[in-house]
């Protein structure tokens, strides 16, 4: 098997990580997933012959060194959910620092990392709101850039897949009636972007905004998608003031409020085409409705019915 068809992934059991792994496998890749919880990973990927599951923790550099041995292409599917900038350990900052220290310099050819639009250097998301995860992401991306290792950073818009895995009791909640358009991407197109970035000279040492080519308001997009994917599902507008009150009493709601404030104070600008994302990494293959139809017909997310993590 060509080395270009072999990739290591850290963060494979995350919301976006699971579908990305499964898509890459369908593209013919052999995937090494580096995880803390082996049993959890087996639940997602145990049935696939081309998945190797290796245990390692971002805080354990010796363990990371062993797991990353001989890795040529590495995809980082990390996320940050905190409102505290000086938190002692963030996977997208301290975790990345440990990965860079542990990585096999004799083998590594490229690091590909997911990020958010607000952490894109061109600042295509307008607004002065200081979203802490994006500050931390930029700090981690600086570590990657200063490592000298070829990199490709993919700054993603909202994933249409979230309409499925963020449902509760057949209800998808939008916090506030957000009026600004969102250029929704999806996990299949994003997986193709990752595949097209591998060993692509035009993608090395670069960052790309990953967006769909149509801007749609969040509530309308959710209703449209779910009308095809699951007619039993409902879309609910959750007033922002409810989140503000809950955040006063529930610690776990503070980040949700922080994220809500960020999206209400930001405007997503369409830059994927002018930043050559489509030219270098491929154009979107699916509209919102076509993607909903594809997932429904293929039963891609059927495994979530018995899964409590989403």
Q: What is the pLDDT of residues 100-155, one digit of tens each?
A: 999 999 999 999 999 999 999 755 445 567 899 999 999 999 999 999 999 999 99
Task: Please say if the pLDDT value at position 30 is more than 50.
Answer: yes
Two tokens at 147? 């490592």
Within 6-79, residue ranges assigned H as helices are: 17-26, 38-45, 61-68
What are the residue boundaries of the structural domains of the chain, listed by start?
Answer: 3-306
Task: Please say if the pLDDT value at position 176 is more than 90.
Answer: no
CB distance 183 to 15 below 8 Å: no
The predicted model gives 287-308 an average pLDDT of 88
The predicted model gives 194-210 an average pLDDT of 98
- Residues ≥6 apart with Cβ < 8 Å to 272: 183, 208, 209, 210, 211, 213, 278
At 12, the pLDDT band (50, 70, 90 cuts) reads very high
Question: Which residue in the block uniquely carries the two structure tokens 């991407």?
Answer: 185
Q: Cα(310)–Cα(303) distance, rounded to whole angstroms?
A: 11
Q: What is the pLDDT of residues 81-112, one digit of tens each?
A: 999 999 999 999 999 999 999 999 999 999 99
Percentage of the chain exceeding pLDDT 70? 95
Phi, psi (rounded to 5 degrees) for 277: -60, -45
Question: In whole angstroms, what separates CA 302 from the centre of its chain?
Answer: 20
Task: Please say if the pLDDT value at position 222 is more than 80.
Answer: yes
CB distance 75 to 119 below 8 Å: no
Distances (CA, A) of 235 to 134, 175, 217, 273: 28, 11, 13, 30
CATH code given to domain 3-306: 3.40.50.720
Task: Please say if the pLDDT value at position 77 is more than 90.
Answer: yes
At 297, the pLDDT band (50, 70, 90 cuts) reads very high
β-sheet bridge partners, residue 155: 115, 209
Q: Which of 304, 23, 3, 25 is nearest to 165 (CA)?
A: 304
Instruction: Classify residue 236 as left (phi > 0), alpha (psi -120 to 50) or beta.
Output: beta
């Amino acid at each position: 098997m060509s080395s270009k068809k072999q990739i290591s992934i850290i963060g494979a059991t995350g919301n976006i990580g699971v579908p990305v792994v499964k898509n890459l496998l369908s593209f013919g890749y052999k995937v090494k997933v580096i995880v803390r919880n082996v049993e959890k990973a087996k639940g997602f990927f145990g049935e696939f012959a081309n998945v190797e599951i290796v245990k390692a923790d971002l805080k354990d550099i010796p363990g990371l060194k062993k797991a990353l041995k001989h890795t040529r292409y590495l995809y980082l599917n990390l996320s940050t959910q905190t409102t505290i900038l000086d938190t002692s350990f963030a996977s997208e900052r301290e975790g990345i620092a440990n990965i860079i220290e542990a990585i096999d310099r004799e083998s590594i050819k490229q690091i590909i990392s997911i990020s958010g639009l607000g952490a894109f250097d061109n600042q295509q998301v307008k607004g002065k709101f200081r979203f802490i995860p994006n500050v931390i992401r930029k700090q981690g991306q600086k570590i990657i850039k200063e490592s000298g290792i070829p990199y490709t950073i993919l700054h993603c818009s909202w994933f249409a897949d979230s309409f499925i895995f963020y449902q509760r009791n057949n209800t998808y909640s939008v916090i506030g009636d957000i009026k600004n358009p969102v250029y929704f991407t999806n996990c299949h197109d994003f997986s193709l972007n990752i595949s097209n970035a591998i060993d692509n000279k035009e993608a090395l040492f670069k960052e790309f905004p990953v967006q769909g080519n149509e801007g749609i308001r969040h509530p309308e997009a959710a209703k449209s998608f779910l009308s095809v994917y699951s007619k039993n599902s409902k879309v609910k507008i959750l007033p922002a003031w409810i989140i503000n009150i809950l955040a006063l009493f529930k610690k776990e709601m503070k980040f949700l409020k922080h994220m809500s404030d960020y999206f209400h104070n930001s405007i997503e600008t369409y830059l994927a085409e002018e930043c050559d994302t489509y030219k270098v990494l491929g154009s979107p293959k699916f509209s919102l409705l076509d993607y909903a139809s594809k997932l429904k017909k293929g039963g891609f997310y059927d495994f979530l019915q018995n899964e409590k993590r989403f």
